[in-house]
Amino acid sequence: SIISIQLVSRARAAGVVISPRDVFRHKTVAALAELATAVEAEADPWLGDAPEEELVQVDQDELNEFETQWGTSK
């Protein structure tokens, strides 16, 4: 039902994962609470793990030189 989809959407926005099917199978809040899993921040699989240090360090003079050589596109 539409209400179950709204419930699932609001739960997900609050950081809780349940499915519409779960809503119909586990009809009480207590049963859904036992079933629900918290959403964890996941690393984007396309990006991999973030490095611990900066990849590139550029000072203002280097940025100015880059802009002089390559210009800016607008």
Count structural domains, the chain.
1
Other C-beta atoms lying within 10 Å of the C-beta of residue 9: 11
Answer whether residue 67 shows pLDDT above 70.
yes
Distance between start and end Cα atoms, the chain = 49
The answer to the question of residue 61 being in a domain is no
The three-class DSSP label of residue 37 is strand
The CA distances from residue 44 to 9, 33, 72, in Å, are 21, 27, 30
Please give the average per-residue pLDDT across 58-64, as a whole number: 86
pLDDT at 39: 55
Answer whether residue 9 shows pLDDT above 70.
yes
Residue numbers of the domain that contains 2: 1-41
Q: For residues 35 and 26, is the Cβ–Cβ distance under 8 A?
A: yes
The answer to the question of residue 2 being in a domain is yes
With 0.75 as the threshold, say if the pTM is over it. no
Which residues are paired to 17 by β-bridges? 37
Q: What is the pLDDT of residues 18-59, one digit of tens each?
A: 889 989 998 888 888 888 876 555 555 565 666 666 667 788
Please give the residue that has the higher pLDDT: either 68 or 40: 68
The answer to the question of residue 46 being in a domain is no
The answer to the question of residue 22 being in a domain is yes
